[in-house]
C-alpha cells in the first residue's frame, strides 16, 4: 500500500502552495478550526479559491479540516456529555459540507491534561473515544462517500496513558504521531526535539521510535500510524560549550526556534553556527558556542522515511508547510517517498 504524505498548512497560506507540492501530497490538514461553545467553527470563505485551485491541480488530494492545536480548548467540555459530542460532530460535518472538505482531523492537545489554559477532566480518557465515535457516525451519515477522520497525538507516554488508542483506532483512518517537540518548551536541558532514535547518553528516551513503540503497544495498527516530522526548530540559549552544546543545562528553555527557511538563510554553517550530526539518534543540530538548535533536515527526513518503510507504517506528516519556503524538505520527502 502506498504511504501517505500529509502536510499541515495554515489556512491563510493555502494560496502560496506550489503546484509541484500539491501534486506530491496525499492530504492537506487545514490549520485550524476551533471549538467555541461546544461547536466546531472555522471561517474559510477567503480560502475557497485556493482550495479550488488545489483540487484542479490534484483531484485525488484530500483536504481535511484540523480542529484544535496547541492551547486550543473546548474539547473536554464538548466531549463530556452525549449532547455535547453530538453538537461537536454535527457542527464539524456542517463545515465539511459547506466547504466540500474530505474529512476532520482532531488535534486535542491533550486529553486529561489541563496545560496551556485548556480545560481537562479524568473523564477525557473515555470521552475522547466517544467523541471520535460520534464524529465518525456523523461523517458516515453524509452518505455519499467515505470521509476521513484522523487525530494528531502527542509524541510520548503522556498521550497513550490518557487515551484508549486501541479502541479509538477503529473509528480513525489514520493516527498522526506528533514526534516533534519531544524536548523544548518545558526543558532547560538541551536535546533533540524530533530525533528518530534515542542516544544512550541522553537522560530522556523520548524519540520517534519510542513514540511508535508506545502507539503500537496501545493498539494502533501499524498501517494506520503516521510519523510526524518538523519544518521548524527548537532553540536554547546560554548553553555551556561542552559536547557542542548537546545534553547541557541552558539558561533558557528550548522555545520555538527559527523555521527551516531562516535556518537555511542564517544558521546552517553560517554566522558561527556549525551543523553536527548525531548518528545514534539520526538527528542534526547546530551550535555556535552559546546557542543550541535542534531541527530536521534532508538527512534526518530520509532516515525517517526509511524507518516508516521498514516498520510498515502508514506514512509521514509534517508541521508546517510555510515553515520551509525553500521547498527543500518537501522535495526531500517527495523524492524519498516516490511522490515526485
Beta carbons of 296 and 232 less than 8 angstroms apart: no
C-alpha 127/C-alpha 80 separation (Å) is 6
Nearest to 308 by CA among 171, 206, 211: 211
Q: Enter the C-alpha cell of residue 14.
A: 493555502
Out of 20, 97, 109, 325, the active site residue is 109
230 torsion bin: left (phi>0), alpha (psi -120 to 50), beta (else):
beta
User: What is the CA 217 to chain-centroid distance, rounded?
Assistant: 20
Q: 3-state DSSP: the chain helix, strand, coil percent, rounded to 5? A: 35, 25, 40
Beta carbons of 160 and 217 less than 8 angstroms apart: yes
C-alpha 30/C-alpha 45 separation (Å) is 13
User: Which residues on adjacent β-strands are paired with residue 235?
Assistant: 255, 293
Torsion of CA 313, 315, 318, 322, to 10 degrees: 170
Nearest to 229 by CA among 57, 4, 14: 4
User: What is the CA 41 to chain-centroid distance, rounded?
Assistant: 21
Q: Among this protein's residues, is 109 annotated catalytic?
A: yes
Nearest to 8 by CA among 328, 338, 323, 340: 323
Beta carbons of 233 and 255 less than 8 angstroms apart: no
280 by Cβ neighbours in 10 Å (0-12 / 13-18 / 19+) ranks as middle
Beta carbons of 218 and 160 less than 8 angstroms apart: yes
Active site residues: 109
Amino acid at each position: 500500500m502506498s504511504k501517505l504524505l500529509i502536510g499541515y498548512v495554515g489556512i491563510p497560506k493555502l494560496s502560496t502552495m506550489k503546484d509541484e507540492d500539491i501534486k506530491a501530497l496525499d492530504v492537506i490538514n487545514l490549520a485550524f478550526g476551533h471549538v467555541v461553545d461546544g461547536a466546531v467553527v472555522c471561517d474559510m470563505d477567503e480560502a475557497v479559491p485556493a482550495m479550488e485551485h488545489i483540487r484542479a491541480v490534484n483531484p485525488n488530494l484530500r483536504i481535511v479540516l484540523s480542529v484544535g492545536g496547541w492551547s486550543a480548548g473546548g474539547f473536554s467540555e464538548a466531549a463530556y456529555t452525549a449532547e455535547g459530542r453530538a453538537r461537536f460532530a454535527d457542527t464539524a460535518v456542517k463545515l465539511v459540507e459547506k466547504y466540500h472538505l474530505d474529512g476532520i482531523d482532531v488535534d486535542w492537545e491533550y486529553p486529561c491534561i489541563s496545560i496551556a489554559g485548556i480545560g481537562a477532566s479524568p473523564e477525557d480518557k473515555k470521552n475522547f473515544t466517544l467523541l471520535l465515535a460520534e464524529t465518525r457516525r456523523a461523517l458516515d451519515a453524509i452518505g455519499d462517500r467515505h470521509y476521513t477522520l484522523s487525530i494528531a497525538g502527542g509524541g510520548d507516554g503522556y498521550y497513550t496513558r490518557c487515551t484508549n488508542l486501541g479502541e479509538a483506532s477503529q473509528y480513525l483512518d489514520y493516527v498522526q504521531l506528533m514526534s516533534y517537540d519531544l524536548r523544548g518548551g518545558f526543558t532547560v536541558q538541551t536535546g533533540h526535539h524530533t530525533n528518530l532514535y534515542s542516544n544512550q547518553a541522553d537522560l530522556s528516551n523520548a524519540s520517534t521510535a519510542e513514540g511508535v513503540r508506545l502507539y503500537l503497544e496501545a493498539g494502533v495498527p501499524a498501517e494506520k500510524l503516521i510519523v510526524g516530522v518538523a519544518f521548524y526548530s527548537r532553540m536554547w540559549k546560554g548553553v555551556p560549550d561542552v559536547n557542542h552544546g548537546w545534553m547541557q543545562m541552558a539558561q533558557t528553555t528550548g522555545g520555538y526556534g527559527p523555521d527551516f527557511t531562516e535556518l537555511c538563510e542564517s544558521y546552517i554553517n553560517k554566522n558561527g553556527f556549525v551543523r553536527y550530526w548525531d548518528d545514534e539518534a539520526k538527528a542534526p543540530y547546530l551550535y555556535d558556542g552559546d546557542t543550541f538548535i535542534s531541527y530536521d533536515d534532508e538527512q534526518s527526513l530520509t532516515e525517517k522515511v526509511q524507518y516508516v518503510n521498514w516498520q510498515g507504517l502508514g506514512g509521514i506528516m509534517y508541521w508546517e508547510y510555510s515553515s520551509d519556503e525553500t521547498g527543500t524538505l518537501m522535495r526531500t520527502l517527495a523524492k524519498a517517498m516516490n511522490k515526485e
